[in-house]
Amino acid sequence: MTAVGLRAPRPRIRPASVVTFLVMAVVTAFVLLPVAIIIFTAFKPVAEVNAYPPTLLPTEWTLDNLIRILEELPFARLALNSVIFAGGVTLCALVFDSLAAYALARIDFRGRGVLLVLIIASLMIPFQATLIPVYQLVAELGWINTYQGLIAPRAADAFGIFLLRQFFLALPRDLDNAARIDGASEFRVFRSVVLPNVVPALMTLGVFTFVNNWNDLLWPLVFTNQAEMGTITSGLTLLTGPGGIIPYGVMMAGSLLAVVPLVIGFLFVQRRFIDNIATTGLK
Amino acid sequence: MTAPAARAYRPPAPLGGRPRVRGEGRRTLTALAFLAPALLILGAFVAWPMISAFRLSFTDASGFGAEDWVGLDNYIRVFTDPDILDAMVNTLWYTVLFTPTAVVSALLLALVLNSPALPFRGFFRTALFLPFIVSLAVAAFAWSYLLDPRLGLVNYWLQGAGVQLGDVLEDPVLAMPAVALVAVWKNFGFYMVIFLAGLQDIPASLYEAARMDGAGAGRRFTNVTLPLLSNTFAFVLIFALIAALQAFDQIYVMTGGGPYGHTQTIVMEIYESGFRKLDLGFASALSYVLLIATLLLSVVQFVFFGRREKDLG
């Protein structure tokens, strides 16, 4: 667009790359089709949602579906629950995982190897496999339908500890040794020296944890049974009524509201986020 | 690569000349203080439940007080109940549909995106990754609408091309491919990014050398790309297999296990027997079967990654 852009060295455009580009454009369009259908259907009047032949774009834009979803579900409450649940898990996990990862990566202590193996082993346990005893435990604590019941069991996780440990290992030793020689306590070294150097890793883990929990369906279904304690994701499933009659327009409006905050947040951090998940713990 | 553990921090002996052992004891206490919150959570909500699930799996627990020891009954039921056997077959079928499709499409797209000649690579990468942040439940709604026999755009377009799909989600044969497709749609972007990182780790000089030796694009792929990508490939494959074993959200939303149980999977059965029928003992036995299947896959992973894990120390 700008003069600077024009002066940039122009890659040679070969016919082969034009073909690949076109193929990629078509593939991407198909991949984005469900996202497009969510957005466009959310703004369609009922008559158009149910019209045959179906269309992609609305001819008439309306906010009716969005208004109806707000009437049918306690949406503000569900959104708040989603934020508290996903945000709470993320915050706790970041603190607890980074503390544990620091000890495992930077402190040389007895039993470190055994602990590390145990933590890595617990990575392989699907949460579904322990769901029932976890449910019983949460129920015994009287935490069903509470935020702590949703958050506590996920307040630390092996994946996060492992991921952060990989980052902590990569930092040069001199950094914290210098601080220790100056008399800094271990916690001080952790907080003021090491932590500021792993902000990208914390961000990546944070986004990952937040998105996974925001989107999780089975977890809130199990730990809440009151509609007003559900999350957006679990609340939306209430819309598929027992008769199997599905108000698509309303459902897409709800889906849109569930997805938009994530997409906006993601677009802000996407470059770093994608690079980080691609490189952390995998090299 | 040297093992990082060997370079682990060891503070210099204090000038006062205290015995080293006490320093080590203090370090252990400090480390445990750092680890305490995480260990408490993992102990209470992972380790203990694992033991507890094992015990439950030998009882007829229903969540209402009294429970009796039933020995191996639950496990015998797992492997004789025709519904569960069907669910296992369904889970396998789902895995066979999902895994190769997701992994191959991710690899192909990563290869294309890795080519510097492609314009707008960044845009494509972000767009193709986008489904990963959409929840499976929401994706399931959107796909249900797209595949609706009367109102669905995909159905309508396919009709235009002469393909009659009918009601896919009510079709005993097509329902499972449909729910697997949604999972592929959601996950391939994640695998693609991991492949891209693997591809970018391959030194360009190797390709140059192969080119000088007269290797064409096909040979360069089979002789350079594939061998050097094998670790990444194994990683993605195991990830995809484990994800396949745990399929739930999109099935719960799109078909609820139907039609006639044709999309009922292991996790669907765990949810239904545990939280609908409150047959906790049986659901725990089923959970342990899932756990063991996952562990077996993880063992395969360790065989593949043995050397790498050692490197990570």
* Structural domain boundaries in chain B: 73-309
Provide the pLDDT for residue A184.
85
Write the pLDDT tens digit of every residue in B263-278. Answer: 999 999 998 998 888 8
Domain endpoint, select from A10, A43, A62: A62
Q: Is the pLDDT of residue B80 over 70?
A: yes
**Is B260 exposed, middle or buried, given 0-12, 13-18 or 19+ CB atoms closer than 10 A?**
exposed
Residue A10 has pLDDT above 80, yes or no: no
Residue A199 touches partner B, C-beta closer than 8 Å: no
Does A58 share its domain with A133? Answer: no
Residues A104 and A227 in one domain: yes
pLDDT of residue B6: 43
Q: Grade residue A4 by pLDDT with cuts at 50, 70 and 90.
A: very low
Cβ distance of A190 and B144 shorter than 8 Å: no
pLDDT band at A281 (very low <50, low <70, confident <90, very high): very low
Residue B19's pLDDT is 44
Number of domains in chain A: 2
Pair (A89, A200) in one structural domain: yes
And the tokens for A252? 């897409």
Domain holding A56, by residue range, is 23-62
Nearest to A233 among B131, B133, B135 (CB): B135
Q: Is residue A190 part of a domain?
A: yes
Tokens of B242: 């484990």
Residue that wins the pLDDT comparison between A70 and A100: A100
Q: What global pTM score does this model have?
A: 0.84
Q: Report chain A's mean pLDDT, rounded to a whole number.
A: 85
Residue of chain B whose Cα is closest to the Cα of A140: B63
Tell me the average pLDDT across A142-149: 94
Tokens of A95: 């603190």
Are A102 and A152 within one domain? yes
| Nearest residue, CB atoms, A240 vs list B53, B116, B253 | B253
Looking at residue A17, what is its pLDDT?
78
Pick from B111, B133, B249, B266 the residue to mutate for testing the A interface (most A CBs within 10 Å): B133
Say whether B4 and A137 touch across the interface (CB within 8 A): no
- pLDDT at position B1 is 39
What is the per-residue pLDDT for B98?
97
Which residues of chain A does B113 touch, with a Cβ-Cβ cutoff of 8 Å?
24
A31, A62, A93 - which closes a domain: A62
Q: Which of residues 59-88 of A touch B (CB under 8 A)?
A: none
**By mean pLDDT, which of A226-230, B14-18, B118-122 is the weakest?**
B14-18
**How does A95-131 read in b/e, with b if 16+ C-beta sit within 10 Å?**
ebbbbbbbbbbbbebeebeebbebbbebebbbbbbbb
Report the C-alpha gap between B131 and B138 in whole angstroms. Answer: 10
Q: Are residues A54 and A90 in the same domain?
A: no
The reported pLDDT for the residue numbered A99 is: 96
Per the CB < 8 A criterion, the answer to whether A164 and A101 are in contact is: yes
pLDDT digits (tens, 9 = 90+) for A171-211: 888 888 888 888 888 899 999 888 988 888 898 889 889 99
Q: Residue A280: pLDDT above 70?
A: no
Which band of pLDDT confidence, cut at 50, 70 and 90, is reported for residue B94?
Answer: very high
In a domain, A88, yes or no: yes
Residues A232, A125 within the same domain: yes
Question: Is pLDDT of B86 > 70?
Answer: yes
- In a shared domain, residues A91 and A163: yes
Q: Which of B34, B201, B312 sits opposite A103 (nearest CB)?
A: B34
- CB–CB of B109 and A27 under 8 A? yes
% of chain B exceeding 70 in pLDDT: 90
Position B2 pLDDT exceeds 50: no
Residues A77, A46 share a domain: no
- Which among B9, B137, B245 is the nearest to A236, CB-wise? B137
What are the Cα distances from residue A249, in Å, to A33, A47, A72, A199, B89?
A: 16, 10, 13, 41, 35
- Whether the pLDDT of residue A273 is over 60: the answer is yes
DSSP H helical segments within A152-247, as ranges? 158-170, 173-181, 186-188, 199-215, 218-223, 232-236
What value does the mean pLDDT take over residues B130-136? 91
Residue A139, pLDDT score = 92
- On chain B, the residues whose CB falls within 8 A of the CB of A130 are 45-46, 49-50, 52-53, 287
Position A241 scores a pLDDT of 56
The token duo for A143 is 């935490």
Distance CA B267, CA B249 (A): 10
State which of A59-73, A255-269, B97-111 shows the largest mean pLDDT. Answer: B97-111
- Within 13 A of B287's CA, how many CA atoms are on the CB side? 32
Beta bridge partners of B69: B59
What distance in Å separates the CA atoms of residue A159 and residue B290, rounded to the nearest whole number?
Answer: 19
**pLDDT over 90 for what percent of chain A?**
38
Count of Cβ atoms closer than 10 Å to residue B164 Cβ: 8
Predicted confidence at residue A81, as pLDDT, reads 95
* Nearest alpha-carbon partner for A160 in A244, A233, A242, A98: A98
Helix axes B280-312, A131-140, angle to 10 degrees: 110
pLDDT at position A13 is 61
For A210-267, what is each residue's pLDDT tens digit?
999 999 998 999 999 888 899 999 988 877 655 556 688 888 999 999 999 888 888 8
ipTM of the predicted assembly exceeds 0.95: no
CA distance, residue A84 to nearest chain B CA (Å):
17
CA dihedral (B54, B58, B64, B68) positive or negative:
negative
Q: How many CB atoms lie within 10 A of CB A175?
A: 13
Please tell me whether residues A131 and A53 are part of one structural domain. Answer: no
Place of tokens 């889970």: B91
| Contacting residues of A for B196, CB less than 8 Å apart | 278
Q: Which residues pair with B59 in a beta bridge?
A: B69
Q: What CATH number has the domain bearing residue A185?
A: 1.10.3720.10
pLDDT at B173 over 70: yes
In angstroms, how far is the first alpha carbon of chain B from the final one?
A: 10
**A272 and A240 within one domain:** yes
Residues A193 and A241 in one domain: yes
Angle at B24 between CA B19 and CA B30, to 5 degrees: 135
Structure tokens that stand for A229 in this block: 């304690």
Q: Determine the Cα–Cα distance for residues A132 and A141; give it in Å rounded to an integer.
A: 14
Q: Which of A31, A159, A240 to mutate to test the interface with B (most CBs of B within 10 A)?
A: A31
Instruction: Looking at the structure, tell me whether residues A227 and A129 fall in a common domain.
Output: yes
Please count the residue pairs, one from chain A and one from chain B, whose beta carbons lie less than 8 angstroms apart.
Answer: 299
pLDDT of res. B313: 35
CATH fold label, B73-309: MetI-like fold (1.10.3720)
The closest CB to that of A282, out of B35, B146, B235, belongs to B235
Q: Is residue A144 part of a domain?
A: yes
List the structure tokens of B109: 């797209």
